[in-house]
Amino acid sequence: MKNPDLITAVAGCSTGIMCVHYPGWQVTFANKCMRRILGLPDGEFPAVIGDCLRYCKIYGHGNLELVPGLLPSAPDKLLALCQSPHELQIVSSHGQINHYHLSASPVSDHGSDLTGFILIFTNIDSYKSLESDLTDTGELLLQASIRLHRQSITDSLTGVHNRMHILNSLRREIERVRRYPSALSILMIDIDHFKTINDRFGHPTGDSVLKSISQCLASTLRTVDMIGRYGGEEFLIILPSTDLPGAAIVAERLCRLVSDCHILADHQVTVSIGCAELSPDDDIESLITRADRELYRAKASGRNCVAAGNNWACQHSS
């Protein structure tokens, strides 16, 4: 640099600027900010670029190797910096870490031969801090979104799917069967004499019974099966790829399981189950209506039993 006004302006610049001669890598200029970045004592000036590592450590990212030689003897990688800045860390002798963007501008003589580079070190600490804050905030927002989604599809008392989600799941399964024909059945389950349980033992015990039964039912289902609280003491189970006889077998197993669970010491808790298989003419309302009809038939037959259509007699749990 030979222009006095330019030297004065650059010397007081808040961005680190260094001029390097090529091919000898002699440092011909380093402004005050650059010397502060490198941790150089007052009055000391790096003779060659390697002297920059005397009071600090410089760590690059990607393919630019800055330790221990700071820069390669060939200018290729510096020329790459002319296209886009490169992020690096400078660690002072006291352990302080600062982040910079390093960019380079080539200097050529009148014959267009490369004679050096102007290196520009721009502090990006505030950007990195913001980036870290945004990353943390993004992670918090993601976790909050996951929690809100789970809450939106889960019955808060029992932990199984809520009514809205189980019905939406049933609609999707019906649409799937229409596109790719296969069997689909549902079970409508009701806790027998649940009002008596509430009246005799209190609502907290009734809530406990609902939790226990939902866990008992869910624990025996396949991964593809879905269970949701339909309302009050009723549960709806979706059984993909299951015809009516298969659904009745599942229902009988669930009926026996609940009866054998001994949920209350002084009262046998049982369920009644109605089964229905999707027919070509069914929509979601008609399918649920038929399962409901079978549920009432099971209750009318003495409860603690399964009903599954006219060709399937009501079977009591043994």
Least Cα distance to 301 among 289, 290, 312 occurs for 312
> Do 289 and 166 belong together in one domain?
yes
> Do 194 and 67 belong together in one domain?
no
Last residue of a domain, one of 110, 126, 142: 126
pTM of the complete model beyond 0.75: no
Which residues are catalytic, by number?
233
> Do 293 and 223 belong together in one domain?
yes
Region label for 13, one of left (φ > 0), alpha (ψ between -120 and 50) or beta (otherwise):
beta
Least Cα distance to 287 among 225, 253, 318, 244 occurs for 244
For residue 74, give both structure tokens.
């060939």
Average confidence (pLDDT) over 165-174: 97
Element (H, E) at 100: strand 97-108
Residues 182-225 have pLDDT tens digits of: 999 999 999 999 999 999 999 999 999 999 999 999 999 999 99
> Do 73 and 180 belong together in one domain?
no
> Do 99 and 159 belong together in one domain?
no
Last residue of a domain, one of 126, 145, 174: 126
| Comparison of pLDDT for 146 and 1, the residue scoring more | 146
* 298/192 Cα distance (integer angstroms): 10
Listing DSSP states for 181-230 in one string gives: ---EEEEEEEETTHHHHHHHH-HHHHHHHHHHHHHHHHHTS-TT-EEEEE
> Do 218 and 286 belong together in one domain?
yes
pLDDT at 131 (0 to 100): 80
> Do 197 and 292 belong together in one domain?
yes
pLDDT at 75 (0 to 100): 58
> Do 182 and 273 belong together in one domain?
yes
Chain centroid, CA 161 distance in Å = 20
Looking at the DSSP bridge assignments, the partners of residue 98 are 90
Q: Specify if 145 maps to a domain.
A: no
Q: Specify if 288 maps to a domain.
A: yes
> Do 91 and 224 belong together in one domain?
no
Residue 34 pLDDT > 50: yes
What 3-state DSSP class applies to 272? Answer: strand
Work out the mean pLDDT of the chain and round it to a whole number: 84
DSSP symbol at 52: G
Residues 77-87 have pLDDT tens digits of: 666 656 667 78
Residue 278 sits at φ, ψ, to 5 deg, of: -65, 130
Residue 94 pLDDT > 90: no
> Do 99 and 244 belong together in one domain?
no
Residues 16-28 have pLDDT tens digits of: 888 888 877 788 8
> What residues contact 171, with CB distance under 8 A and at least 6 apart?
284
> In whole angstroms, how large is the CA radius of gyration of the chain?
37
Residues 258-303 have pLDDT tens digits of: 998 888 888 899 999 999 999 999 999 999 999 999 999 999 988 9
pLDDT at 68 (0 to 100): 41
Q: Specify if 146 maps to a domain.
A: no
Quote the number of domains for the chain.
2
Domain of 70 in residue numbering reads as 4-126
